[in-house]
Structure 1
Amino acid sequence: MIPNSALQVKQNPWRRTVRPIGASALHGMAFRKDALIAIDAFSGYLLQIDPKSDNTTILNANHLPDFLGVTGLALWEDTLWCTQDDSVFFCTDALNAIATTDLTPEQFVTLSYPANGIAVAESTVYITSRKSGYILVFSRETGKQIARFPAPGVGVENITVKDEELWVSDDIEQTVYCLDRATGQIKFSVLTPFERPTGLAFHTEPETGQDILYVAYAGEEPYIRDNPNADPNFELAYRDRTFIHPLYFHYNEAEGYALSNGYLIELSYVEELSPLDNVELTDVEWRIALPSETHRQKVRTIEWVGLPFTEEIQDGQRVAVFKFDSLKTGDRHIFGWKALLEVWSIKYRLTPRDAEKLPDLSPLQDKYLVDDDDLAMDTDIIRSAAKDAIGTETNLLRKIYKIRNFTYDALSYGIKPHIDPPDVALERGIGSCGEYLGVLLALSRLNGIACRTVGRYKCPPHPELKNVPLQPDFNHVWMEFYLPGFGWLPMESNPDDVVDKGPYPSRFFMGLSWYHAEIGKGITFESLMSRGERVNKQEVSIGDLALNHVIFTILEELQPGAEG
């Protein structure tokens, strides 16, 4: 569970977002005493950055061409190491050379593929190469390759060393991995709070002696530009966005998951009753699911908005029940709930070995292996897809992973005004998150994997916008699958489908980011009862009765404390 002593991140000068002045695309990073040394791949600037003030100095003013395109950087003793295209070079006596801006690169090795990140520890040099798919291990003395480890992700990776561990960031996976330095095996991984991590470095906070993991991010952000020469004068534009932010994490080895940067969020879900058509209902119960308690989500408080509600438990989930003597065409009401939530990113670390010799699934079969939501599980196209998706695989984790990849191969993302059943979506080849989910549920259940719908909204992913009301553009659904003997595990519906025909990232396979709000697991999010009977949505649709208002407000950043 979430550590009981989760703490708000105070105004500690070492635990702030660092925005170096003049930087466009930060990549490799290392610390020299209390100063960050980082490379800007776009400009070739070798920068010295004060993490407490953003003060920035260019160290290689006389050697800019030598550093253009550098993406990896490491410091070992007094030597600076860099990767550039397919080359690795170093600058000896760099600490003194930086002071005099006299940096002379010397070639270390030339690879067959582009080199991305670099880390150096004692006599060993570690180089990441997305094109090769490996972390390459070289002898610092001989320049000979002595080993290689499979790259943990599918994107461009950077790397650093801490004691007997390798720490690797992956820009597509939105993930930092902790690897055993001797074997390259993944110990655990954590999701980053922002997209496109491009570099990382550890530093010991002078006042407390605690290690802080700093992660660099680089990409573009859209903004509205005021162009006085255009009519209309507002236009969409893009600009570089790069910064450095501490990555907080807590690894729960016993339960097989890691939490990372959390946020205290206020979430409001409110309905504004405003019927589009003539309607008259009596003895009405309007039921709205409430936020769930999970490993990554803690509900601090819930209060009513507009009208009070009573609370019920449905299949282990909390539900708000609003009661009306009648609802008529001219009635107007505002009603809903407001919750204060702690939300975290979570990543489970389970392997196919954990899915061998599983206990019996029988208690869940009647509910989570059946077609209970128009899943078209009896159609030829879905039954054929269920067989093709897994082939001869028998391991549950490998099966669900292959089903995910099969679905991503078969569908491309697109939004429509309504959700079609899985057979229609699969034949069309285009689906919304709900249609991806329908296909995933159908193929999984036909292959004996218990699964259920979860969701319902995602906070706009802008944690720097604190105390600003944020409204999501759409609702969102994903799924959980059941691993007997362990429990329910999350899997996103479509956001990892980012590369045509793969390889697909695994960031949200057994993982969710902090901005996912979990509401009503495995139950209907919102429903109407009249005179004790469920109202047929074909006759009276909630969407035609009311307009919903969903507002997220990010209040504080949180970091895990010690277990209470």
Structure 2
Amino acid sequence: MNSALPSLTVSQMFGQKTIRPLTAATIYGIAFIKDRLIAIDTIKGHLLEIDPISDNSKILNPHQVKEFQDVTGLAVWEDTLWISRRNGIYLCNFTSLGLEHFVTLPYAADGVGVWESTIYVSCQRLASIIVFDRDTRKEITRFHTPGVGIENLAVSQEALWVCDHTEQTVYSMDRATGEFRFSVITPFASPTGIAIHSQDATGKDILYVSYSTEEPYIRDNPNADPSHELTYRDITFIHPLYYHYEPDKRYALSNGYLVEMSYVEEISPLEEVYLPNVEWRIALPSETERQKVKQVEPIGLPFTEEIIDGQRVAVFKFDSLAPGERHIFGWKALLEVRGIKYRITPKDVEILPELTPELQTRYLVDDDDLAMNTAIVNRAAREAVGSETNILRKMYSIRNYVYDELSYGIKPYIDTPDIVLERGVGSCGEYVGVLLALCRLNGIPCRTVGRYKCPPYGEQQGVPLQPDFNHVWLEFYIPSFGWVPMESNPDDIGDTGHYPTRFFMGLCWYHVEIGRGVTFETLTSNGDRLTKEDISIGDLAINHIRFTILKELPPF
């Protein structure tokens, strides 16, 4: 046992660790009473008091467990506990826990927040946050929900915080008017509850978010043959949410990690070849608002650096690559990566300057087999936007159109957008190709970015991790604002048409930006660039990608 641990105060521990309550299966609502952390395990019906230092838990309702099953949200104001359960909102004295009915909604009440005599209730089916007066139990007003999923609430002096399970996002709204201020992407998927612990010296709310999901694992079952079988287990925990809003730059940053990434090529040709005077270029990680490159070093062989369109590229030089010759070479980078979410509205972009000639000639043309001259792609470009002229609404409409038309599937090669649209199934690269074609035909400059995502396991620090496959997304250009990101396919979930916008002008910490707008990897021989028809890099070498999450970055 660590003897130093008990000497730390709760305040010293806050913000330094993930809280993993013992026995908890599925935590939804959470709240703080000073340094006391209260949470509801919705499946078991346990109202828990959790020690943030030791993770020890105490059941506060040992005789009322059934009454607290299916509770999805909770809030505390003075000595009163508020809960949302199925269609109803209930309150009780925190000591007696005898539930008193407050109001019933026509659909499930998801989350509840309280500030003095004002009660906030979120309802996904109504797409609303309904505001009630405690004394009259009458509706005062309602706000439109910022996301599409089940939402939980927390309230402070100025802000209404909304945590959306599907959007993987926390929204900050003005609690009096419902005006949307900014949003941040949570570092983990499936957020289910949010609480305000306190405020810092500047009045900034200190936030915690609960997460609940399942994870697959291999179970060793001695009664089965073979004994190893795939099964699932509940995962639930509570983690601090860090955020920093830059109103002038129109974005907010959230939790991040110090990550070591290695990219290595191993010469292992499918067929032996001879290539004279070889230059092998591999793009290096980019410096962006959310990603800081702390260090880059070579692996295996030295490289020189070039700057191509503002991006750093490593150049490995060989006098020749001869049959039977073997090398390993690449780079290792130390990166600080954070979540980012831009807040730009259609109203902000109603009047924009004309695109520069450079943007038009580089990012509105078919320079990557985009099939922009085919009938099916041109028809899709017209249908996607209709009569819309606002650049943001056009971009949003194009994204939703592509999501309506395509389903995700992995393929060993990338087809052109006309074939993809006709087939109706595409990989992330094929989603990007279709999006690029439709955007450029509608006058929106865009370019490919990405390449890899770190496995999104922030708790697995110091352990080498390998991504399952590479990944690409895109950036589109808004005159007077600049380049903003948009994911290719991860938000294409469900068939309802209500797609999340978490990665529309946003990225999570695990996205690693490499070579924005430039080719990730190229090969030249005697000064001539080799194409896939000449020889494929994949036929020459095997790539090895490794991520190691070193630590979580401190609060802002």
Matches within 5 A, 1:136-155: 136-155=130-149
TM-score w.r.t. the length of structure 2 is: 0.96
Q: For 1:373-416, what per-residue CA distance to the aligned partner results, in whole angstroms no more than 9, with x for missing partners?
A: 00000000000000000011000000000000000000000011
- Aligned: 1:114 with 2:115: no
Retained in 1: the 8 A contact 2:214–2:232? yes
Specify the alignment match of 2:89 in structure 1: 88
Specify the alignment match of 1:528 in structure 2: 523
- Aligned: 1:59 with 2:53: no
Specify the alignment match of 2:282 in structure 1: 288
Residue 230 of structure 1: how far off its partner (Å): 1.7
Specify the alignment match of 1:157 in structure 2: 151
- Aligned: 1:27 with 2:21: no
Q: Provide the C-alpha distance between the structure 2 equivalents of 1:364 and 1:336, rounded to a whole number of angstroms.
A: 32
TM-score w.r.t. the length of structure 1 is: 0.95
Residue 204 of structure 1: how far off its partner (Å): 2.7
Residue 501 of structure 1: how far off its partner (Å): 3.9
- Aligned: 1:395 with 2:390: yes
Retained in 2: the 8 A contact 1:14–1:205? no
Q: Provide the C-alpha distance between the structure 2 equivalents of 1:179 and 1:501, rounded to a whole number of angstroms.
A: 26
- Helix, strand or coil for the counterpart of 1:559? coil
Residue 205 of structure 1: how far off its partner (Å): 7.9
Specify the alignment match of 2:305 in structure 1: 311
Q: For 1:196-231, what per-residue CA distance to the aligned partner results, in whole angstroms no more than 9, with x for missing partners?
A: 111111113899998521100011111111111222
Q: Provide the C-alpha distance between the structure 2 equivalents of 1:384 and 1:59, rounded to a whole number of angstroms.
A: 61
Q: Provide the C-alpha distance between the structure 2 equivalents of 1:202 and 1:160, rounded to a whole number of angstroms.
A: 7
Residue 152 of structure 1: how far off its partner (Å): 0.5
Q: Provide the C-alpha distance between the structure 2 equivalents of 1:206 and 1:439, rounded to a whole number of angstroms.
A: 46
Q: Provide the C-alpha distance between the structure 2 equivalents of 1:536 and 1:241, rounded to a whole number of angstroms.
A: 47
- Helix, strand or coil for the counterpart of 1:275? coil
Aligned length: 544
Q: Provide the C-alpha distance between the structure 2 equivalents of 1:44 and 1:72, rounded to a whole number of angstroms.
A: 12
User: Share of identical aligned residues, percent?
Assistant: 64
Q: Provide the C-alpha distance between the structure 2 equivalents of 1:210 and 1:288, rounded to a whole number of angstroms.
A: 42
Residue 278 of structure 1: how far off its partner (Å): 2.5
Equivalent position amino acid for 2:509 in 1: W
Specify the alignment match of 1:199 in structure 2: 193
Specify the alignment match of 1:44 in structure 2: 45
Q: 402, 413, 420: which one pairs with 2:415?
A: 420
- Aligned: 1:372 with 2:367: yes
- Helix, strand or coil for the counterpart of 1:427? helix
Retained in 2: the 8 A contact 1:221–1:241? yes
Retained in 1: the 8 A contact 2:34–2:198? no
Retained in 2: the 8 A contact 1:444–1:451? yes
Q: Which has the higher contact order (CA 8 A, sep 6+)?
A: 1
- Helix, strand or coil for the counterpart of 1:135? strand
Q: Which moved more, 1:223-232 or 1:396-405?
A: 223-232
Moved over 3 A (4+): 205-211
Q: 433, 436, 441: which one pairs with 1:438?
A: 433
- Helix, strand or coil for the counterpart of 1:277? coil
Seen in structure 2, the aligned counterparts of structure 1 residues 231 and 205 have a Cα distance that, compared at 3 Å, is farther
- Aligned: 1:341 with 2:335: yes
Q: Provide the C-alpha distance between the structure 2 equivalents of 1:315 and 1:423, rounded to a whole number of angstroms.
A: 29
Specify the alignment match of 1:472 in structure 2: 467
Equivalent position amino acid for 1:542 in 2: I
Retained in 2: the 8 A contact 1:458–1:475? yes
Q: Provide the C-alpha distance between the structure 1 equivalents of 2:57 and 2:23, rounded to a whole number of angstroms.
A: 8
Matches within 5 A, 1:497-508: 497-508=492-503
Specify the alignment match of 1:8 in structure 2: none
Retained in 2: the 8 A contact 1:260–1:559? no
Seen in structure 2, the aligned counterparts of structure 1 residues 209 and 489 have a Cα distance that, compared at 3 Å, is closer
Q: For 1:406-455, what per-residue CA distance to the aligned partner results, in whole angstroms no more than 9, with x for missing partners?
A: 00000000011111000101100000000000000000000000000001
Seen in structure 2, the aligned counterparts of structure 1 residues 463 and 12 have a Cα distance that, compared at 3 Å, is farther
- Helix, strand or coil for the counterpart of 2:13? coil
Specify the alignment match of 1:4 in structure 2: none
- Aligned: 1:450 with 2:451: no
Specify the alignment match of 1:5 in structure 2: none
Q: 183, 189, 205: which one pairs with 2:183?
A: 189
Retained in 1: the 8 A contact 2:200–2:206? no
Name stretches of at least 5 consecutive residues in structure 2 with no aligned partner: 1-10
Q: For 1:139-187, what per-residue CA distance to the aligned partner results, in whole angstroms no more than 9, with x for missing partners?
A: 1001111100000100000001011110010000000000011111110
Retained in 2: the 8 A contact 1:249–1:559? no
